[in-house]
Amino acid sequence: MRLWIAAMLALIASACSPLALFNTVAPKDSLTTPATRAIAYGDGPRQKLDIYPAAPEAKKPVIVFLYGGAWNNGRRQDYGWAARALAAKGFVVVVPDYRLAPADPFPAFVDDATAATAWAHANARRFGGDPDRIVLMGHSAGAHIAMMVALDRRFLDRAGVPSSTIRGVIGLAGPYKFDPNEEGVLRDAFGRFPEPDATQPVTFVRADAPPALLLHGDADTRVRLRNSERLDRELRAASASAELKVYPGVDHTGILLALSKPLRGRAPTLEDATAFATKVTR
């Protein structure tokens, strides 16, 4: 097993499509019902989602999982291993694609995540989900998007989704306070938006925000721990419900891969995320 893990980590570090490779070869959690793929939640080519039902006959809580990729890359097909891990814990899991920068900068990807959440609210019963018990979850850029949907109430209001539907939000190694005009991917994704503060999750902290779980590794050099520390501090100062868990020695990719069956010993990401999601959806 140790040799397999070492080989996989080496491939992930060097391959052109590392998560596609990982999704293909890594051992996965089993499901009693197959996933349903490429469901349209909008008219655009990237407005599609996959859904992993836990039990069609039951009203299970729903997790909308938003992958990362610097707001400019990623595809839902590469995250089947993560969705299956969450579904095996008793959730209906929705994994949407969303429009990407630079062609479609902020707020396009947040609008799409909101539309996918609205789709989940309208259609969850068809797949054994409870439309009134939804948890948003994201990694990296996906964590930023999840927090924007959860905190800036204008997105859900425009989509006609009751805010009470969102029972909680989970951020894995998310960027929540940054300079949107910084050269490179940030400017491509956010620099054209006329209100820089409106791109930041910390701007929309409020007392009645959905409960938040922030998970971050202290070895993350891509998105620094201070992002989660800042959001946690501001949520608490506003009397909102927030919990921060820091994983020693875990980096930006490791916190996500710890959801997978072979790498769960590296961090309790799956245990912590699903325990939180279970608690807030009771």
Residue range 50-71: mean pLDDT, rounded: 90
Residue range 60-71: mean pLDDT, rounded: 98
Q: How far apart are CA 144 and CA 155, in angstroms?
A: 14
Return the structure tokens found at 7.
Answer: 């080989």
Alpha helices in 26-102 (DSSP H): 80-87
Q: Is pLDDT at 3 greater than 70 in this prediction?
A: no
Reduced to 3 states (helix: H, G, I; strand: E, B; else coil), residue 62 is strand
> With contact defined as beta carbons under 8 Å apart, do 201 and 235 qualify?
no
Q: Is pLDDT at 14 greater than 90 in this prediction?
A: no
Q: What percent of the chain has pLDDT over 90?
A: 89
| Bridge partners for 216 per DSSP | 246
Mean pLDDT of the chain: 94
Whole-angstrom CA distances from 20 to 23, 56, 242, 267 are: 5, 28, 33, 22
pLDDT of residue 16: 46
| Bridge partners for 40 per DSSP | 48
Q: How far apart are CA 133 and CA 135, in angstroms?
A: 7
Q: Is pLDDT at 4 greater than 90 in this prediction?
A: no
pLDDT of residue 15: 42
Among residues 211, 216, 210, 218, which one has the least CA distance to residue 176? 216
Q: Which residues touch 265 (CB under 8 Å, ≥6 apart)?
A: none
- The full set of domains in the chain, from first to last, is 31-280 (3.40.50.1820)
Reduced to 3 states (helix: H, G, I; strand: E, B; else coil), residue 174 is coil
Q: Which residues touch 120 (CB under 8 Å, ≥6 apart)?
A: 62, 64, 94, 129, 131, 134
pLDDT of residue 235: 98
Is omega for the bond preceding 102 within 30 degrees of 0, making it cis?
A: yes
Q: How far apart are CA 18 and CA 10, in angstroms?
A: 10
Q: Is pLDDT at 9 greater than 80 in this prediction?
A: no
Q: How far is CA 70 from the centre of its chain?
A: 13
Please write the tens of the pLDDT for every residue from 74-96: 999 999 999 999 999 999 999 99
Please write the tens of the pLDDT for every residue from 182-240: 999 999 999 999 999 999 999 999 999 999 999 999 999 999 999 999 999 999 999 99
Q: How far apart are CA 48 and CA 170, in angstroms?
A: 22
